[in-house]
Structure 1
Amino acid sequence: MTTTTSDPSAAWPQTLVGAGVLLTGLALAFGAISISSEAGYGGVGPNFLPWLVSVGLTVCGAWIIWEARSGGFRELDPPSGAAQAYWPGFAWVSAGLLLNAALITTIGFILSCTLCYLLAVQGLRRASGQTGVNAPRTWATDLVVGLLISAPVFWMFTKFLAINLPGLTNTGWI
């Protein structure tokens, strides 16, 4: 089922979202001004991607504002989910992000990102009402999947892109 926004007061939150996207694009463009434009490998300079993203965000922000001010988002599906936020799930996800930030230099990228994934998935599982979230098998599966995601990302950045990420050891593999 789709709805059409006809209430003018409903367009203000949409307009604010558009303004936020537009301002983000303009702020990125302001920052891109200070980046060197000397062409590097392949004929593009280091400022190419920031300019590309800033133009994309600015166009999208202006489009969102235009949509909101000309009648709101048309054919918008009604909101789904619970009427109230599930705060315990928010706490799980927040704990994962904060622990990742706090521990990344202590236990390394792989283990801190695995912990972040484990806690975030637990929060999302609980928020969606899944059963068996406290089962050891669920925790083990989430742990293994977190490792299978974070380890290749770490190796890709450190070995192939030569970007230093904090590791547990000085070998560069963990």
Structure 2
Amino acid sequence: MNPTPQAEAAPDHRPGQLAMGIGALVVAAVLAYGATAIPSDAGYAGVGPDFLPWVVSAALAICGVMLIWEVRTGGYRHMEEPSGAPRGDWRALAWVSAGVLLNAALITTIGFILSCALCFALAVRGLRASEGKPIGDLRQSVKDAVTGIVIAAPVYWLFTKLLAVNLPGLTASGWI
């Protein structure tokens, strides 16, 4: 039995779908409000520093309108059923969140490299937990921390030595 075009256009959507469109419009409005505080003096090639925030807020507003239109005309009709577990993995989220929050809290105390390595180690632990794998013992934690250092150190040196961007370091030498 084929549905009629009118039955297909009937509102058949989840409440979260409409919230996504409205949320996109709200974020676009907040970005646009923030863009009003940026000076519009034309810089290189006649483009001022406020140009990109206005472009992003306009694009996000268009996306929000399109999302709301899609919901009002029948919902996300071609959306696949979500994969994965029916509920979020709060333990995994806690590990990843702890990594990000500790990175933000400790970056000026222990430096960029060590705080990013800690963030990496905790995030990897959370991702393992989300896959149902063992999160690891002390040996695995040390491996994760060393891997985080191996990733963060070149990034730190690239930004501080090559690009002259000041990132918090552990020592005054600028190498750690």
Q: TM-score, normalised by structure 1?
A: 0.84
Q: Percent identity?
A: 55
User: What corresponds to 2:24 in structure 1?
Assistant: 21
Give yes or no for the alignment of 1:167 onto 2:169: yes
Return the match for 1:10 from 10, 13, 28: 13
SS in 1 for 2:77: coil
Task: Report the CA distance shift for 1:39/1:154 in structure 2 as closer, same or farther (over 3 A).
Answer: farther
Mark the runs of 5 or more structure 1 residues left unpaired by the alignment: none
Query: What CA distance in whole angstroms lies between the structure 2 residues aligned with 1:148 and 1:40?
Result: 39
RMSD over aligned Cα atoms: 2.3
SS in 2 for 1:73: coil
User: What corresponds to 1:91 in structure 2?
Assistant: 94
What displacement does 1:106 show?
0.5
SS in 2 for 1:172: coil
- AA at the equivalent of 2:126: G
User: What corresponds to 1:48 in structure 2?
Assistant: 51
User: What corresponds to 2:111 in structure 1?
Assistant: 108
Give yes or no for the alignment of 1:155 onto 2:153: no
What displacement does 1:137 show?
5.5
Give yes or no for the alignment of 1:134 onto 2:114: no
Q: TM-score, normalised by structure 2?
A: 0.83
Task: Report the CA distance shift for 1:84/1:36 in structure 2 as closer, same or farther (over 3 A).
Answer: same
User: What corresponds to 1:118 in structure 2?
Assistant: 121
Greater relative contact order (CA < 8 Å, ≥ 6 in sequence): 1
